């Protein structure tokens, strides 16, 4: 299952928040400038943030700091995501963009510190779904309340590893763009190294260190993400989907798909009630 999401609250442009409802499958490694607060409503998720894995269940909360590399795995969990554009709070003369927060209810024994965050998220949803009188003013209040709770209970010092990762974000951005633009062409690590003017060993170690995953596995995951989308949204054969998404032949695709999803592509497609396909070859 892939990710489904929609924005459930449309704030005015001057409020630096976006609130989404997510139904999760797999969300590959990525990062964004906005800080993100996630709260699980239903089901369980496994989330990897900067190489640290956590398992969250209903009502758990986690903050993903600006530019933190993260990846999420689940089977249909539902959660709320609040994206916070910290730069919009600069008028407070506080450099919130440089702040780091350690907020993870699955690992913090003092659960009382999370009640304010849960209240804030619930209030945002209630105010805006019922369109209560004056809700636009309450939205301002809640956005500042959310920030105050994070700063009061969860702010931590910036570490050297965080500074190093941020230093290398431009290169990581170029590398991931190259992979996303060329995944279907079956390129090699050497091709990518030449594009970045790096040696193959250096790039391999760099990718492993800052992405927390070997290049070959990440590249395979990207191809599988696109192939899974094709399985759901097209009636093309397994062989056609495999070749289109950078696999040299269908058997390699089937092996990789089964290893990740614990199911053959045809069975996985059928379980998601995709349109009946035609003329698929054997899967060995």
Instruction: Count helices and strands (H / E) in the chain.
Output: 10, 9
User: In 109-264, where does DSSP find H-type helix?
Assistant: 115-129, 135-154, 160-167, 169-182, 189-195, 200-211, 215-233, 238-244, 250-261
Asked whether the whole model's pTM tops 0.75, one would answer no
Q: Provide the pLDDT for residue 257.
A: 94
pLDDT digits (tens, 9 = 90+) for 52-69: 899 999 999 999 998 888
Backbone angles phi, psi at 239, to 5 degrees: -65, -45
Rounded to whole angstroms, how far apart are CA atoms 150 and 37? 10
Closest CA to 275 of 230, 223, 224: 230
Structure tokens at 122: 């619930």
- The per-residue pLDDT for 8 is 55
Domains in the chain: boundaries:
4-156, 168-271
- Taking the C-alpha atoms of residue 73 and residue 126, their distance in angstroms, rounded to an integer, is 28
CATH topology of domain 168-271: Arc Repressor Mutant, subunit A (1.10.10)
Q: What pLDDT sits at residue 47? A: 93
Q: Is 51:130 a contact under the CB 8 Å cutoff?
A: no
Strand partners, 37: 63, 82
Q: Which two tokens stand for residue 9?
A: 């609250």
CATH topology of domain 4-156: Jelly Rolls (2.60.120)
Nearest residue to 155 (alpha-carbon basis) of 19, 35, 15, 29:
35
Tokens 């931590």, located at residue: 156
Mark 37-70 as b/e (b = at least 16 C-beta within 10 Å).
bbbbeebebebbbbeeeeebeeebbbbbbbbbbb
Q: What is residue 135's predicted lDDT score, i.e. its pLDDT?
A: 80
Give the pLDDT confidence score for residue 4 in this predicted structure: 58
Low-confidence ranges of the chain (pLDDT < 70): 1-14, 90, 93, 109, 273-284
Crossing angle between the packed helical segments 169-182 and 200-211, to the nearest 10 degrees:
100
Residue 129: what pLDDT? Answer: 79
Q: In this predicted structure, what is the pLDDT of residue 10?
A: 59
């Amino acid at each position: 299952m892939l990710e489904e999401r929609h924005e459930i609250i449309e704030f005015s442009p001057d409020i630096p928040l976006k609130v989404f409802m997510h139904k999760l499958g797999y969300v590959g490694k990525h990062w964004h400038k906005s800080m993100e607060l996630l709260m699980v409503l239903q089901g369980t998720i496994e989330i990897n943030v900067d190489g640290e894995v956590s398992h969250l269940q209903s009502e758990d909360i986690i903050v993903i700091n600006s530019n933190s590399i993260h990846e999420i795995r689940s089977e249909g969990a539902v959660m709320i995501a609040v994206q916070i554009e910290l730069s919009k709070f600069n008028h407070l003369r506080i450099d919130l963009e440089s702040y780091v927060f350690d907020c993870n209810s699955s690992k913090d024994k003092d659960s009382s510190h999370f009640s304010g965050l849960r209240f804030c998220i619930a209030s945002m949803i209630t105010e805006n779904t019922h369109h209560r009188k004056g809700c636009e003013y309450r939205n301002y209040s809640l956005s500042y309340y959310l920030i105050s709770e994070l700063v009061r209970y969860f702010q931590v010092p910036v570490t050297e590893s965080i500074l190093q990762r941020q230093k290398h974000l431009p290169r990581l951005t170029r590398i991931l763009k190259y992979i996303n633009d060329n995944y279907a062409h079956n390129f090699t690590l050497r091709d990518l190294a030449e594009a970045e003017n790096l040696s193959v060993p250096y790039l391999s170690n760099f990718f492993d260190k800052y992405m927390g995953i070997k290049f070959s596995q990440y590249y395979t995951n990207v191809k599988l993400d696109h192939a899974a989308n094709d399985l759901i949204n097209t009636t093309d054969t397994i062989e056609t989907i495999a070749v289109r998404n950078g696999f040299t032949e269908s058997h390699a695709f089937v092996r990789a798909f089964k290893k990740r999803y614990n199911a053959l592509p045809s069975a996985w497609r059928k379980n998601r009630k995709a349109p009946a396909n035609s003329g698929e070859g054997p899967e060995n």
